[in-house]
Structure 1
Amino acid sequence: MAGLKRPQPAFWAGKRVFLTGHTGFKGGWLTLWLHQLGAIVGGYALAPNTTPDLFSLCDVAAHCAHHLGDVRDAAALHAAMASFQPEIVLHLAAQPLVRVSYAAPVETFATNIMGTANLLDAARKIPTAQVILIITSDKVYAESRTARHDEASPLGGHDPYSASKACAELVTASFPMPAGQKIATVRSGNVIGGGDWAADRLVPDFFRGIFAGEALRIRNPAAVRPWQHVLDPLCGYLLAAEHLWKNPPAARASWNFGPAPASEVPVETLAAEICRLWGGGAAYRIEPPQAAPHEAPVLRLDSGKARRELGWRPGWELPQALGATVAWYRHYRDGGGMTAFTKSQIRAYEKA
């Protein structure tokens, strides 16, 4: 895997990057990476909603100009962006969970659709903002058990979360922006990695169970997902921003960032491998069938466009991604310093 394209410190050093969602799982990792690359980072997000959380464990606030705020508050968002004067804007803030979207559909639509519109409206009023990247999801595509979705695949959304992200794509494609600004959307697969504590997600559920002495409970063992370490799509986002910056304005683009086909495995396969890597009697059990909100049975991504246009490739295959994830939670369990350890994993990924 040596020689894969990576974000360039020479490009990012001194760049003013405004990041929404920096208190979340992906946003926390991205803030640390941008800081390590030499960027000047401004963060805007709600307070973390889990205990523990990556933001606190890795002291993410010390690596950015930290601002608490809601993307649904258009005036506050614009004020924060105008004060920071970003050159690059990365929009990660979202209600990111399918099952939560069933319980809170209005909040999900307000955050994911109007939050995106508010971000774009603020960015178009800031002359320094040259690149705007909107992060959506692999779930923007209409469901298919057989298709490997590429960027031209039909958008869809059976559940409120998926529909809201598909709508965010349409908002981004249609929002009136100044001619000089460069805008794109990016879509990634199911991310894993240290520091994720979200509810109803396989890896966080596993480690919550491990620390409580309980078996992981699986509700959809046959569901196939494009599993990838969080650093893989984040690498893609940074390469996409570099590409947009360096090239003339063009039609609004989208890129998929998904793993190799070998990393598209059923939930039960992933659970069994995590248990093996952790050892110590770790186990899972399959829940009996029951009525539950619909979730897509199969998700697969075609990332050929990102490979061709951005030079991006997955850096860690599934065994490496799982190994790094288990190592992170083991270090946490043993009371190690998580900021330095997380940064060390970023450096290891850069060298992969």
Structure 2
Amino acid sequence: MNKKVLITGVTGQVGSQLADYILENTDLDVVGMMRWQEPMDNLYHLSDRINRKDRISIYYADLNDFSAMARMLTEIRPNFISHLAAQSYPKTSFNIPIETLQTNIIGTANLLEAIRQLKELNDYNPVVHICSSSEVYGRAKPGTPLSEETAFHGASPYSISKIGTDYLGRFYGEAYGIRTFVTRMGTHSGPRRSDVFFESTVAKQIALIEAGLQEPFIRVGNLSSTRTFQDARDAVRAYFLLLLESEKGKIPCGEYFNIAGEEVFQLPDVINIMLEMSTVSGIQVVTDQDRMRPIDADYQMFDNAKIKQAIQWKPEIPARKMFKDLLDHWRDEISKGKIPLNR
């Protein structure tokens, strides 16, 4: 019987791409956790395999239901868990702060506590990846690249929720010997990136303009941020390699890692790159106050030294290819008649 990887948040960009990576590169089985009402857009290409239970299946559960977490783990007993489910939109978190904190902190605690109880009762001890975020560093001072020891500074309810998630992953590893590790991924993108994120809404708007569905104006929020970008397909490879190294006992329980791209951009540069790829000329950029956050994380430059010491990994997909793939993703979606909201 194949070993199993449980992916919470499997319907998201990163969760679905991690499922793709495992199915294409290993003989492990994938169990994707999702809430029953979530959209399946990112998994439609796997529908036939899911229906046939060809190394991938779906388990319906909700992080906020402890009994569901306990039942899921008892029934599945996955060897590996990659916990990616979250309310993951920083700007949205200003509007729904309580839900963000509940899902990301209490939801993670529900999962880890269910693992702890099973470990004590049944000697069950899977490898557990806890997905934090580079947003934990928040309003960091520009200058030195951010290392894992840089102080946290929450700049949104989302980043505060991920600080809690981060500490929970480390605590359950250190206190109870659960084989957890925590990742803080920097800005990541590529196909399937939600349109609530900066570079994806830019790509979406360009695709809408090319299709004649939007006037030739791109509406954006704060453009003062400097950050690294990486393709999510590179990041999931790092996630998987960390799972394997942790299983071998080479990563201490509760260890934590930055995972970031190494190509640096100011946000206006990202817009210009994608405008150069557009089939329409003369597109203008307009500041939209509704897209502004009350407080923002303007400096996101990271030190990857620690993760490179733990695994043989580095980003491989060039940022320009990532932006092109993202733009093509939106062109393809719109060509199918899927007209996205203007957000």
SS of 1:183's equivalent? strand
User: Residues 332 and 163 from structure 1, CA distance in 2 versus in 1: closer, same or farther, beyond 3 angstroms?
Assistant: same
Given that 1:226 and 1:301 are in contact with CA atoms closer than 8 Å, whether structure 2 keeps it comes out as: yes
Counterpart residue number, 2:63: 71
1:149 equivalent in alignment to 2:146: yes
1:311 equivalent in alignment to 2:312: yes
Counterpart residue number, 2:260: 258
1:131 equivalent in alignment to 2:155: no
Matches within 5 A, 1:311-330: 311-330=312-331
Find the aligned partners of 2:294 and 2:45 in 1 and give their Cα distance. Answer: 32
Counterpart residue number, 1:347: none
Shift of 1:236: 0.9
Given that 1:86 and 1:129 are in contact with CA atoms closer than 8 Å, whether structure 2 keeps it comes out as: no
Counterpart residue number, 1:202: 199
User: Residues 53 and 268 from structure 1, CA distance in 2 versus in 1: closer, same or farther, beyond 3 angstroms?
Assistant: farther
Counterpart residue number, 2:223: 221
Counterpart residue number, 2:41: 53
1:91 equivalent in alignment to 2:83: yes
Find the aligned partners of 1:48 and 1:200 in 2 and give their Cα distance. Answer: 22
Given that 1:271 and 1:284 are in contact with CA atoms closer than 8 Å, whether structure 2 keeps it comes out as: no
Shift of 1:18: 0.8
Counterpart residue number, 2:296: 295
Query: Structure 1, residues 43-62: CA drift from partner, whole Å, max 9, x if none?
Result: 11225756x83234653845
Shift of 1:271: 1.2
TM-score w.r.t. length of structure 1: 0.82
Shift of 1:158: 2.2
Find the aligned partners of 1:282 and 1:306 in 2 and give their Cα distance. Answer: 42
Q: Give 5+ residue unaligned stretches, structure 1.
A: 1-12, 336-352
- Give 2:6's match in structure 1, choosing from 13, 18, 28: 18
Find the aligned partners of 1:288 and 1:204 in 2 and give their Cα distance. Answer: 13
Counterpart residue number, 1:111: 103
TM-score w.r.t. length of structure 2: 0.84
Q: Give 5+ residue unaligned stretches, structure 2.
A: 337-343
Find the aligned partners of 2:7 and 2:106 in 1 and give their Cα distance. Answer: 17
Given that 2:174 and 2:253 are in contact with CA atoms closer than 8 Å, whether structure 1 keeps it comes out as: no
Shift of 1:176: 6.6
User: Residues 41 and 234 from structure 1, CA distance in 2 versus in 1: closer, same or farther, beyond 3 angstroms?
Assistant: same
Given that 2:173 and 2:253 are in contact with CA atoms closer than 8 Å, whether structure 1 keeps it comes out as: no
Query: Structure 1, residues 182-212: CA drift from partner, whole Å, max 9, x if none?
Result: 1110011111111223425431453155233
Find the aligned partners of 2:257 and 2:173 in 1 and give their Cα distance. Answer: 21
Counterpart residue number, 2:240: 238
Q: Which amino acid counterpart does residue 6 of structure 2 have in structure 1? A: F
Given that 1:89 and 1:129 are in contact with CA atoms closer than 8 Å, whether structure 2 keeps it comes out as: no
User: Residues 280 and 129 from structure 1, CA distance in 2 versus in 1: closer, same or farther, beyond 3 angstroms?
Assistant: farther
Given that 2:172 and 2:254 are in contact with CA atoms closer than 8 Å, whether structure 1 keeps it comes out as: no
User: Residues 137 and 285 from structure 1, CA distance in 2 versus in 1: closer, same or farther, beyond 3 angstroms?
Assistant: same
Given that 1:95 and 1:108 are in contact with CA atoms closer than 8 Å, whether structure 2 keeps it comes out as: yes
Shift of 1:253: 0.7
Given that 2:137 and 2:153 are in contact with CA atoms closer than 8 Å, whether structure 1 keeps it comes out as: yes
Identity %: 21
Counterpart residue number, 2:27: 38
1:270 equivalent in alignment to 2:270: yes
**RMSD across aligned positions (CA):** 2.6
Given that 1:16 and 1:41 are in contact with CA atoms closer than 8 Å, whether structure 2 keeps it comes out as: yes
Counterpart residue number, 1:286: 286
SS of 2:300's equivalent? coil
User: Residues 73 and 286 from structure 1, CA distance in 2 versus in 1: closer, same or farther, beyond 3 angstroms?
Assistant: same
Bigger CA drift: 130-139 or 321-330?
A: 321-330
Shift of 1:152: 1.2
Find the aligned partners of 2:284 and 2:70 in 1 and give their Cα distance. Answer: 46
Q: Which amino acid counterpart does residue 95 of structure 2 have in structure 1? A: A
Given that 2:226 and 2:264 are in contact with CA atoms closer than 8 Å, whether structure 1 keeps it comes out as: yes
Given that 2:15 and 2:84 are in contact with CA atoms closer than 8 Å, whether structure 1 keeps it comes out as: yes
Shift of 1:25: 1.5
Shift of 1:332: 4.2
Find the aligned partners of 1:187 and 1:150 in 2 and give their Cα distance. Answer: 10
Shift of 1:98: 0.8
The number of residue pairs the alignment matches comes to 321
